[in-house]
Amino acid sequence: MSDLLIVGGGFAGVWSAAAAARVRGDADLRVTLIAPHDDMVLRPRLHRLDPEWARVPLKRILEPIGVTQVKEEVTGIDVADSTVTAGGRTIRYDRLVLAAGSRLVSAALPGARHMFDIDTTDGVARLNAHLGDRTGFTAVVIGSGFTGLEIATELAARGRVILLERAGVVAPELGPGPRPVIEAALADLGIDVRLGVDVRSVTEQGLVLADGASVPADAVVWTAGMRAHPLTEQIPADRDGLGRLHADRHLRVSDQVFAAGDVAAALADATNQVVQSCQFATPMGKAAGHNAAADLLGLPLVEFTPDPYVTCLDLGAAGAVFTTGWDRTVALTGDQAKDLKQTILEVIHPPVDDAAEILRQSAQQSNEVAG
Ligand SMILES: Cc1cc2nc3c(=O)[nH]c(=O)nc-3n(C[C@H](O)[C@H](O)[C@H](O)COP(=O)(O)OP(=O)(O)OC[C@H]3O[C@@H](n4cnc5c(N)ncnc54)[C@H](O)[C@@H]3O)c2cc1C
């Protein structure tokens, strides 16, 4: 029997497993998914501060399609030996799909332990426990990227929000297209935006800026900087500035190793690299899982062909903004974009307890609704 091992139970890992199970059919191929938790976490739902809404039991996806689930954290990958180490065990593979995702890079600041984040369900639970049912608090959000904007506009419904950005413009990574809509939303919600500022240190009472000014706050939320999982460093292959492994059109990194989702850098079209998003992680997972299984079974490989790039940014009570293309042309705003955001947050939930539907969706690289 051959072994296909998938590391990670997020969008990329789960959809790799489903595609591999579909390609396997009745063949003598064991598909195993290894991840440290019982649940898949739908990270795009985390800014709504409801950790339970973001969890999907992996068992309800994997069991119906005959994928073996191992609950362990992988700590080592030995490509020369074709094994991974997890929980003191050594697990052999014939093909590996690395789908261990990304992590928020913690801030190297004095007092960083006082900060909160919404990168994981544990992070959200800690913030919720701190804020309780309070309203009227002051929260400082550091970073005005996708995550910073979504949590700042969410918290603005309950308290005063100060949004700090090191760059001279808000939302630097989103470009000029959606910026006027974002600026108008931040103004509508009364968010105090401070540009061109650096943080010197954080305390339980707030933070101190690089110029020495104190900013009192009940909570400081750090959102700046995502990197690919450090397991990528154990694969001898080229990586990009985010630590992502360079993968080809089949999402292959080396003879036996494929990569998908936030750990992988691949072309989304003729010129643009994927960005770390569930919009790309899902079709990458489907292609990588398909190809890892097909490669073992001597079947043709498929190319990674995602839908055109779009974004949908939640702006809390000010609606949302939906953009198309790599220049992020605004296509929808306000309530229409908010409705689309809600639809996206719902459709990213994979089918559960329904093998036929899971396998059917694993054959489609199109997200149907992307975000
Ligand atoms: C707050 C927030 C909001 C977001 N909003 C959006 C959005 O609106 N739209 C969008 O497209 N994207 C959004 N993203 C990004 C999106 O969530 C990620 O790009 C996506 O989750 C990547 O999927 P993945 O499967 O590659 O990784 P992940 O979802 O990070 O999953 C990684 C998996 O690997 C497992 N794992 C980690 N370490 C190990 C280990 N050592 N051994 C075994 N398993 C391991 C994890 O437990 C997890 O199961 C958001 C992210 C955050 C944090």
Class of domain 2-103+226-307: alpha beta
Could you tell me the strand order of the sheet in which 214-216 lies? 199-203, 206-209, 214-216
pLDDT at 369 (0 to 100):
53
Nearest atom, ligand 1, residue 103 CA: 30
Q: What is the dihedral of CA 15, 20, 26, 28, to 10 degrees?
A: -140
- In the chain, CATH 3.50.50.60 sits at 2-103+226-307, 106-222
Burial letters 264-294, b for 16+ CB under 10 A, else e: bbbbbeeeeebbbbbbbbbbbbbbbbbbbbb
Residue of 262, 310, 346 with the most ligand 1 atoms within 8 Å of its CB, for mutation: 262
- Rounded to whole angstroms, the Cα distance separating 70 from 192 reads 46
CB 177, CB 322: distance < 8 Å? no
Task: Report the nearest-CA residue for atom 30 of ligand 1.
Answer: 101
Considering only CA atoms, which of 318, 322, 317, 328 is closest in space to residue 369? 322
Contacts of 200 (CB under 8 A, 6+ apart): 109, 110, 207, 208, 209, 210, 212
pLDDT at 368 (0 to 100):
61
pLDDT at 69 (0 to 100):
98
pTM above 0.95, yes or no: yes
Task: Pick out the chain residues at pLDDT < 70.
Answer: 368-371
Options 3.30.70.890, 3.30.930.10, 3.50.50.60, 3.30.420.10; which CATH number does 106-222 get? 3.50.50.60
pLDDT at 370 (0 to 100):
43
Distance, CA 290 to ligand 1 centroid (Å)?
A: 20
pLDDT at 371 (0 to 100):
40
Distance, CA 214 to ligand 1 centroid (Å)?
A: 34
Distance, CA 303 to ligand 1 centroid (Å)?
A: 22
Considering only CA atoms, which of 150, 120, 143, 122 is closest in space to residue 42? 120
